[in-house]
Amino acid sequence: VQLQAFGGGSLQAGGSLRLSCEASGRTFSSYAMGWFRQVSGKEREFVAAISWNGVHSYYTDSMKGRFTISRDNAKNTVYLQINSLKPEDTAVYYCAGKRGVIATQGYEYWGQGTLVTVSS
pLDDT in tens, 103-118: 999 999 999 999 999 9
pLDDT above 70: percentage of residues in the chain: 100
Q: Is the C-alpha dihedral spanning 102, 87, 114, 5 positive or negative?
A: positive
Average pLDDT over residues 86-93: 97
pLDDT above 90: residue 28:
no
So what's the pLDDT on residue 25? 78
So what's the pLDDT on residue 14? 97
Sequence-separated (6 or more) residues with CB below 8 Å from residue 117: 8, 9, 10, 11, 90
Q: What mean pLDDT, rounded, does the chain reach?
A: 95
